Structures are given as structure tokens and as C-alpha cells.
Amino acid sequence: QNNYKVTVCGAAGGIGQPLSLLLKQNPLVTDLALYDIVHTPGVAADLSHIDTKSKTAGFIGADQLGDSLKGSDVVVIPAGVPRKPGMTRDDLFNVNAGIIKDISNSIAKNCPKALVAIITNPVNTCVPIAAEILKKAGVYDPKRLFGVSTLDVVRARAFIGHALGVDPQSVQIPVIGGHSGVTILPVLSQSQPLFKGNQDTIEKLTVRIQEAGTEVVKAKAGAGSATLSMAYAGARFAGSLLKGLNGEKNVVECSYVQSTVTEATFFSTPLVLGKNGVQENLGLPKLNDYEKKLLEAAIPELKKNIQKGIDFANA
Ligand code: APR
């Protein structure tokens, strides 16, 4: 097919703008719809002058949400409020949960078959909210709803690559679980090339990956959370969804999806992506004893996060 419509919801934000810029450069995108409650006419006009084939259109305000989504193949959602110092991703819950609910309702009406990738935090809870809302609307397909946890993989590749003195792009590493603190489980024992080190080095790197978002929040000192690296990770993930849609083989990404791999009903593992979204869940990678302990710590936290989303959607 080779021509796809992508909608970015929250396209005027710190993540949304660079994400839209990167998507504007993706040759599989022919229509790029930018939705936000502010500034999208300007962002769209600006991007539309870039000499790539996609047509860019801006949509502003709730009244135009439906039009931005109509006919979309992939919807990427970074709409919401970001973290300030001292806030956890969970503190964002109330505002962001409402935004996800509204956008999900509109997706159900306007592009029920789209692949939906949620960046809005807390991802662990926002994805189950979207699932419940789509279910109520009778259009939920668990193979088409994703939480973007790619930034954890991107960070792990960067940290390992620089530590080993190899190109980060050549590093392979599964990061499984969720996208917040202890729910983030980098499987360092399976990294290629192998990250060798004593237990102390391994634990330090594990915690650095789990807390990498906070590193950025602190460094930005009140100006928000990760935007550029998140936009990169979001564009890479959307790009993989598009490659899968377009029939490319062996497209594998870790993403937070409905899952039976563990007791947590949403869980990130490596997935093969295809024409209908998740083609195959590759399941848990091999874990060593330390990683098994991390998994045990992640599951109860994830279950809480998931239940919170289900309760919100059904309240
Ligand atoms: N519908 C659409 N867009 C909205 C809505 C809404 N109801 N409410 C807010 N937005 C938009 C804002 O207008 C803004 O342009 O979402 C954008 C958010 O941008 P920023 O405030 O710059 O936040 P950002 O750093 O991009 O983070 C957005 O992604 O990673 C997560 O934790 C992060 O939840 C946060 C989200």
C-alpha cells in the first residue's frame, strides 16, 4: 500500500512537535494529522514546508478531534501534562486519564481499526484505560493497542553502547514489564553484545535505566520531562508499526500490550509486528536469578497500575 495516515494527538507539545517532525520524514506517511488543543495550525503550517511527500494538516480543539482521526492507520498519543520535579508519573494520573478517555472514545468512532500507540503517562495505567473505553464501544482489539515503552530500550542501548565503546545502534536488549520505576525490567543478561560486570555494576545500570526519566526531569529543573528522546522513541515505534502494516517481515519491538505472559494483564515483551498489529508475542526472554527478583517486584506494582486504569474507566 505504501501510504498511510498518521495522527498525532498532542502534536503541539514538547514531545508532539519533534515527534511530528520525525514522522514528517517517514516515507511511509502520506497524511500527517496534527491534533492539539493549542497551536496546531502553526505547527502544521511550519512542517508543511518540509519537502517530503506527506500532507500535513492541523486540527485544533475538541470539535476537530474526530476529523483529525478519520481514516487514520496509526494514532500516536503524547497529549497530556508532563512531570515536574518531585512528581512521579502517577501524579499525572487524573488529568491525563481524562484526556486518554476522550481521545479513545473518538478513536472508537472515527478510526476503530487504527493501531494506537500511547505515550501519555502513566503509560502503565493509560493503556488499560484506553482498552476499557474501546471495549465499551465494542471495537477493542488487543493486537492494536500499544503503550510506548521504546524509550527504555533506546536508553538501555545508549547506556550499554557507550559503556562498552560500541555503536549503540548495534546493541540488542529486551526491556520488559512496564514504563515506570521498578516495573521497568531491562534484561541485561540477554544484551548483545553482553554487558559484563560484577553484580554491583549490573544493579547500578539496571537502576539507572529504571530511573532515567527522573534524571531528565531533574536536569530540566522545572521545565518538564524527557521530550526529544521520547519523540525519537515514539517515532521509531510508530515507524515499526508502519513497517508491519506495510508487510515488512521480522519487525520486532518491545511494547506494553494486553498479555498473558505473566499475571499482569498488560506487560511489555518483544513482539513481532505485522499487518494487524501484534502478529506474535515472543514472550519472556530468559531471566537470571536477579532478573527474576526484579520481575517479582514489578508484577504487584503493575497489577495495581492496571487496576487503577480499569477502575477509572468504569467509574
Ligand atoms: N487533547 C489534546 N492535546 C492536549 C490535551 C487534550 N485534551 N490536553 C493537553 N494537550 C496537549 C497540550 O496542549 C500540549 O501541547 O498535550 C501537549 C503536551 O505537551 P507538553 O505539556 O509539552 O508535555 P510533554 O513533555 O510533551 O509530555 C506529554 O507525554 O511522556 C508523557 O509524561 C509525559 O504525560 C506526558 C506527555
| Span 178-199, pLDDT tens digits | 999 999 999 999 999 999 999 9
Question: Probe ligand 1: pick from 7, 9, 15, 125, max atoms within 8 Å of CB?
Answer: 15
Given a cut of 90, whether residue 91 has pLDDT beyond it is no
**CB-CB contact of 84 with 125 (8 Å):** no
Given a cut of 90, whether residue 172 has pLDDT beyond it is yes
Provide mean pLDDT across the span 6-25: 98
Q: What is the pLDDT of residue 92?
A: 79
pLDDT in tens, 261-286: 999 999 999 999 999 999 999 999 99
Confidence of residue 93 (pLDDT cuts 50, 70, 90): confident
Between the CA of 84 and the centroid of ligand 1 the distance, in Å, is 13
**CB-CB contact of 257 with 265 (8 Å):** no
Given a cut of 70, whether residue 114 has pLDDT beyond it is yes
What is the residue whose three cell numbers read 472515527?
Answer: 110
Given a cut of 70, whether residue 1 has pLDDT beyond it is no
What is the residue whose three cell numbers read 494538516?
Answer: 57
Q: Is the CB of 157 under 6 A from ligand 1?
A: no
Between the CA of 101 and the centroid of ligand 1 the distance, in Å, is 14
Confidence of residue 133 (pLDDT cuts 50, 70, 90): very high
Q: Is the CB of 7 under 6 A from ligand 1?
A: no
Given a cut of 90, whether residue 83 has pLDDT beyond it is no
Ligand 1 atom closest to 230 (CA):
30
Between the CA of 246 and the centroid of ligand 1 the distance, in Å, is 29
pLDDT in tens, 207-263: 999 999 999 999 999 888 999 999 999 999 999 999 999 999 999 999 999 999 999
d(CA 65, CA 161): 41
Q: What is the dihedral of CA 93, 96, 223, 211, to 10 degrees?
A: 50
Q: Is the CB of 123 under 6 A from ligand 1?
A: no
Q: Is the CB of 224 under 6 A from ligand 1?
A: yes
d(CA 153, CA 186): 8
Given a cut of 80, whether residue 303 has pLDDT beyond it is yes
Q: What is the pLDDT of residue 145?
A: 99
d(CA 245, CA 30): 14
Given a cut of 90, whether residue 99 has pLDDT beyond it is yes
**CB-CB contact of 116 with 146 (8 Å):** yes
Q: Is the CB of 150 under 6 A from ligand 1?
A: no
Q: Does pTM top 0.90 for this prediction?
A: yes
d(CA 172, CA 152): 12
Q: Is the CB of 92 under 6 A from ligand 1?
A: yes
Question: Probe ligand 1: pick from 9, 37, 126, max atoms within 8 Å of CB?
Answer: 37
Closest C-alpha to 189, from 179, 176, 180, 178: 176
Q: What is the pLDDT of residue 84?
A: 72
Q: Is the CB of 234 under 6 A from ligand 1?
A: no
Q: What is the pLDDT of residue 222?
A: 84
Given a cut of 80, whether residue 88 has pLDDT beyond it is no
Given a cut of 70, whether residue 89 has pLDDT beyond it is no
What average pLDDT is seen over the chain? 96
Given a cut of 90, whether residue 31 has pLDDT beyond it is yes
Provide mean pLDDT across the span 15-39: 98
Burial of 280 (0-12, 13-18, 19+ CB in 10 A): exposed
Ligand 1 atom closest to 226 (CA):
25
Given a cut of 90, whether residue 162 has pLDDT beyond it is yes
Between the CA of 13 and the centroid of ligand 1 the distance, in Å, is 5
What is the residue whose three cell numbers read 482498552?
Answer: 131
What is the residue whose three cell numbers read 532515567?
Answer: 212
Provide mean pLDDT across the span 111-116: 98
